[in-house]
Amino acid sequence: MAAHHTHSNSLPSRSHPFIPEFDEKLCRLKASPSSSISHRLNGLQDMLECVERFLLLPLSQQALAQECGDKWINELLDGSLRLLNECGIIKDALSQTKERTHELSRLCAEDEEMT
């Protein structure tokens, strides 16, 4: 009976420092459900940046390339970048909304003082 040898194309079994960092960010995000939307978006953006750094590691890219091919990796990285960009846009929009709300509150307070 001949011996069969198989080769696994899985990701490395040792934990990379990005894994605990990602887990920590995820736990913090889950633990703060009453946080502001802006704070939660910042947390999500931090997590996505952590994932992106992990995916850009040569060993991660090599393992993913063996499993899925370069096209899939590029699509995944492009999607991650689009999501990060949209988080930034949402964060900016929320900041502007907050500023406008404070301006309106100030104007209303000044208007009440005049009357």
pLDDT digits (tens, 9 = 90+) for 5-47: 444 444 445 566 777 877 887 787 777 767 777 778 888 888 8
Q: What's the rounded mean pLDDT across residues 78-100?
A: 87
Structure tokens at 103: 């301006």
Q: Is residue 12 part of a domain?
A: no
Distance CA 13, CA 106 (A): 57
pLDDT band of residue 2 (cuts 50, 70, 90) is very low
Domain assignment present for 1 = no
Is 106 inside a domain boundary? yes
Identify whether 6 is part of a domain. no
Question: How many separate domains does the chain show?
Answer: 1
The verdict on residue 54 lying in a domain is yes
Residue 10 lies inside a defined structural domain of this protein: no
Task: List C-alpha distances in Å: 114 to 91, 107, 109.
Answer: 35, 11, 9
- At 37, the amino acid letter reads I
Structural domain span for residue 61: 18-114
Q: What is the value of pTM for the model shown?
A: 0.44
Whether 26 maps to a domain, the answer reads yes
